[in-house]
Amino acid sequence: MIDPGKITALVIVLVGFYFIIKDYRVNKELRFIYNAYAFLAVGLVFAILKDVYNFYNYFFNLFEHSFGIMLAGFLFAAGAYLANKRMMNVIEEGRKARIEKMKKMKVKEVFKK
C-alpha cells in the first residue's frame, strides 16, 4: 500500500517543480540547483514505486538513494560552490572598482566622505 505521506510529498514536489521550471527559464545560472531538485523528485518517485512493487524493493531502494538522494546532494553542493564562487568574483570586482575610483580622486575628496 502506498503511504499517503509520500503521495502528499509528491504533490508538493510537483507543484514546486512548476516554479522551478518557471524560474529556470529566466535564470540559467542555477542549473545545478534545478537539476538537484529534479533528482529529488525522481528519488521520491522511486520511493513510491518501492511501496507499490515489493518484489523489486532492493532495486528501487538503490535507485532512490543513489539517484534521488546522493546525486541531488552532489548537485546541491556543486551549485552552492559555484554560487559562492560567483559571489566572491562580484565582491572582488567591486573592491577593484572602489580602489580605482579612489586612485582617480584627489586626496581631499577622499577624506571628505
Only one residue has cell 546532494, namely 73
Q: Where are the domains of the chain?
A: 4-112
- pLDDT tens for each residue of 80-108: 999 899 999 999 999 988 888 877 776 55
Amino acid, single-letter form, for residue 109: E
Instruction: Classify each residue of 70-109 as buried b or exposed e, where b means 16 or more C-beta atoms within 10 Å of its C-beta.
Output: ebbeebbeebeeeeeeeeeeeeeeeeeeeeeeeeeeeeee
- pLDDT at residue 85 in the model: 93
Binned at pLDDT 50, 70 and 90, residue 70 comes out as very high
The pLDDT score that the predictor gives to residue 89 is 92
Question: From CA 28, how far away is CA 24, in angstroms rounded?
Answer: 6
